[in-house]
Amino acid sequence: MNKNKLVNRLIIIVFISVPLLSSLISMIHLFNMYDLGNIEILAIASAICIELGAISSFLSLSILSKLNRTIVWSIFILLFLLQIIGNIYYSFDYITIKMATNSTYLNSFQELMNRFFTDIELPDVKLILSIIIGAPIPIISLMLLKSLMDYIKPSKNTDENNNELNDENIIEKKLIQNIENENDNIEEKINNNINSDQNIIKNANKNIKKK
């Protein structure tokens, strides 16, 4: 296998693995949130729909140019925000459950936050920690997916260069064809001149023989 092809495949695998894992994590987190107001099967279906919708809307923005981009952007932003909210909620809920069994669970993190904020309350500490844990995953996934699409999609400069090369090839072919046509015309004229000269010589010879 060509070394460049192997490197390209490794890059694509590494770049796409993070969005796939992020989608799986977000799907689980969304299920936990949608389970609050749905039966289990509907919560699972809703979580899957959100993830598939977010991926498909983003890919359509990157690949398909005929769609109404305003509508697709609106759908994508809405689904993306739902992913972040689902991740934050899952973390907040998990912290709440852990604190129910261990009241000192967030003491060290609260002390850290007090270095930056004065007299920060425990609910605020829970929210900040949930945002730090839940928000970056979809954002990083989105950036990597966008980078992957830019890496796979041919650049405009490449297309322009290809078009220029095609134009040059067309011009070159036309020039060669014109030269060949001119050569054919020259050969035809030479042959006609030779034939006329031969006819003149033949006629002269006939006249000489008659005399």
- Residue pLDDT, tens place only, 53-112: 888 887 777 666 666 778 888 888 888 899 899 999 999 999 999 999 998 899 899 888
In a shared domain, residues 144 and 165? no
Q: What percent of the chain has pLDDT over 70?
A: 70
**How many structural domains does the chain have?**
2
| pLDDT, greater one: 162 or 3 | 3
Q: Which domain holds residue 197?
A: 157-211
Given this model, what pLDDT does residue 131 score? 93
In a shared domain, residues 8 and 104? yes
Contact between 106 and 99 (Cβ < 8 Å):
yes
In a shared domain, residues 62 and 106? yes
Q: Which residues contact 57 (CB under 8 A, 6 or more apart)?
A: 72, 75, 76, 79
In a shared domain, residues 47 and 61? yes
Per the prediction, the chain carries an average pLDDT of 78
Q: Is the pTM of this model over 0.75?
A: no
Cα-to-chain-centroid distance, residue 53? 16
pLDDT at 9 over 60: yes
The count of other CB atoms within 10 Å of the CB of residue 137 is: 19
pLDDT at 195 over 80: no
Q: How far apart are CA 7 and CA 196, in angstroms?
A: 70
> Dmax of the chain from CA atoms?
139
35's tokens? 């389970």
In a shared domain, residues 41 and 121? yes
In a shared domain, residues 107 and 170? no
In a shared domain, residues 35 and 58? yes
In a shared domain, residues 167 and 198? yes
Given this model, what pLDDT does residue 77 score? 87
